[in-house]
Amino acid sequence: MLEIRNIHKTYNPGTVRELGLFDGFSLSVEAGQFLSIVGSNGSGKTTLLNILCGSIPVDAGQILLDGQDITRQKEHLRSRRMARIYQNPAMGTCAKMTIQENMALADNKFKRMNLLPGTDKARIPLYREMLSELGLGLENMMQARAGSLSGGQRQALAMTMARLAPIEFLVLDEHTAALDPKAAEVIMELTDRMVKQHKLTAIMVTHNLRFALDYGDRLLMMHQGQAVLDAAGDEKKALRMENLLSLFNEISIECGN
Amino acid sequence: MLTSFVATLPSTLEQGLIYAVLAFGIMITYAILDFPDLTVDGSFPLGGAVSSALILAGWGPLAALAAAIVAGTLAGLFTGLIHVKLKVRALFSGIIMMTALYSINLRITGGNALLSLPRKAVTIFRNNPLADSLPADLRVLIIAALIVVGLKLLLDGYLRTRAGYLLRAAGDNETVVTALGRDKGNVKIVGLVLANGLVALSGAILCQQQRMFEVSMGTGAMVLGLASVIIGLNLFRRNEKVRITTKVVVGAILYKVCVAFAIAAGLSPMDMKLVTAALFLAILASGTIKRKEKAHA
């Protein structure tokens, strides 16, 4: 279980550009929950993910993962329990390395980075099998550089890499936003399968209200560092696009968008 | 002009091979890690100073090379620590170490700006059983080639290990390194340690071959190595089958051939650095022009 307790975050404190984002925000996410977060620009969605992953520090407050305080834990140490998929598909893979090398790299996540061969040949059939499940033909181009792939293919590869090493937490940072509608569908279905299959706890920030409605079992709408809507279980199932849109319009008009 | 060029070709090749070791170091920082490391201008003469001083103190040539490597790795370690732990920009971290090393190198040589090894001194190229068994005019070439081929194979192997993968990932996409639960700063430090070890080794080999150390021999080492790496990478741009280490060796030799050609064409050795700079500019500019053509097409 993830608990965010009473966090405070202000950007550029003491300057004219001072921007108070979180002023005592709290959120808890049960293990195995798939939480979607929507909200207008500047509502604090991405900052929340950055705080959660340790990319930026909080001014005050606590973050607990299964009761363990990780507020000051470094980003790379947190990634031993969580994987993050970014909006930019280039962030999750190494462009100059081949698909096979990228897979091997991810497979070594919990191994010692010593002088043993980078690619364990015995694992290649597994890589191919995992990639063939994507249905994108990546298993037939193992020696192609990741940089030569399309955005959707690269995002699918990044997600498969995240799946190779055991993790508990999946953090999705508008991970379909840069893809074309078809690729976005494919990646979203892949995400859903992955979360269910591995019983992951997932937090997804998205601008796609339909994805937020269709997937996951809890929906949060953020506005100015606050949750203006938090619906889980049956309450979430009962949510309709009209409800979301009208609420979304309300908060958007309020801040002049 | 051509005859003087051909006459100096063997020594040009020797130089190319010795500087290929320097280029290996710069390949790690520039081409793999994407780190502009100016430590090189200090760690190259550092290797020469350590090796020359130790040989004069009676050390064997291989032990002197080993000590030079260790000294170079320490220089790289400090640059890395300055950059990663004190969060100083990459360029400044290198400049700080390079500047400090100038004095350190003078300390190592006991304040001498010049150290000469006597003709009877034992180096890897002279007065040892291997060198004595080789024809006199080819022994430097053969021994340098052996060293370069050995290092090339070692580096090829390293880049295929788990540690090598992580090093390549750090230069390619730091986010992936963090996602793998590793501290990207530590990976950079490892890269700088390896690179400067190689650079110092190159300086040490050069000093054993010339039987001379000169405190300002590092000036332009970075540019020279960088030019070699970029020539090699550009030459084989479309050929992904050729290993990066092979590209770099070819680049280093070609670079020295170009300089030798310029000197044979009538330029004085005094103009060496000018030739280096002009050549480097030509390579970079030709890359830009090619990119423009591509953009128009």
Q: Which residues contact B173 (CB under 8 A, 6 or more apart)?
A: A90, A91, A93, A94, A95
Confidence (pLDDT) at B133: 93
Q: The tokens of B60 are what?
A: 């064997």
**Count of domains forming chain B:** 1
Q: pLDDT of A7-66, one tens digit each?
A: 999 988 888 888 888 999 999 999 999 999 998 888 888 899 999 999 999 999 999 998
Within chain A, where are the H helices?
Answer: 45-53, 75-78, 99-107, 124-132, 151-164, 181-197, 209-214, 233-237, 241-254
Residue where the block lists tokens 């005859």:
B3
Sheet holding A68-69, edge to edge: A19-29, A2-11, A60-65, A68-69
User: What CATH number does residue B132 fall under?
Assistant: 1.10.3470
Q: Using H for helix, E for strand and C for coil, what is the string for A83-147?
A: EEECCCHHHHCCCCCEHHHHHHHHHCCCCCCCCCECCCHHHHHHHHHHHHCCCCCHHHCCCCEHH
Its domain, for residue B119, covers 2-296
Which residues from chain A sit within 8 angstroms of residue B175, using beta carbons?
86, 91-92
Substitution target from A88, A113, A119 for chain B, most B beta carbons within 10 A: A113
**What's the ipTM?**
0.91
Q: What Å distances lie between residue A17 and A9, A11, A12, A45, B260, CA to CA?
A: 14, 8, 6, 20, 58
Angle value at C-alpha A134, between A133 and A137, nearest 5 degrees? 100
Give the residue-averaged pLDDT of A115-128.
Answer: 96
Tell me what pLDDT residue B288 has: 63
Contact yes or no for B218/B45 (Cβ under 8 A): yes
Residue among B161, B173, B181 minimizing CB distance to A117: B161
Please tell me if residue A142 touches chain B, with a CB cutoff of 8 Å. Answer: no
Neighbours of A221 (CB within 10 A): 23
Indicate the SS3 state at residue B297.
coil
The answer to whether the CB atoms of A86 and B175 lie below 8 A apart is yes
- pLDDT tier, B13 (very low <50, low <70, confident <90, very high otherwise): very high
- CB contact A94 to B (< 8 Å): yes
Residue type for position B32: I
**pLDDT, tens digit (0-9, with 9 covering 90-100), for B58-105:** 999 999 999 999 999 999 999 999 999 999 999 999 999 999 999 999
Cβ contact, residue pair B180, A115, below 8 Å: no
Q: How far is CA A169 from CA A78, A111, B275, in A?
A: 10, 19, 57
CB contact under 8 A, A114 and B182: no
Q: Per-residue pLDDT tens for B188-237?
A: 999 999 999 999 999 999 999 999 999 999 998 999 999 999 999 988 88
Q: What local confidence, expressed as pLDDT, does residue B259 receive? A: 87
Structure tokens, B75 = 């220089």
pLDDT at A147 over 60: yes
Query: Chain A contact for B256, CB < 8 A?
Result: no
Distance of alpha carbon B136 from its chain centroid, rounded? 26
β-sheet bridge partners, residue A218:
A35, A232
Confidence of residue A84 (pLDDT cuts 50, 70, 90): very high
- Alpha carbon distance B256, B267 (integer Å): 14
Is B158 in contact with A104 (Cβ distance < 8 A)? no
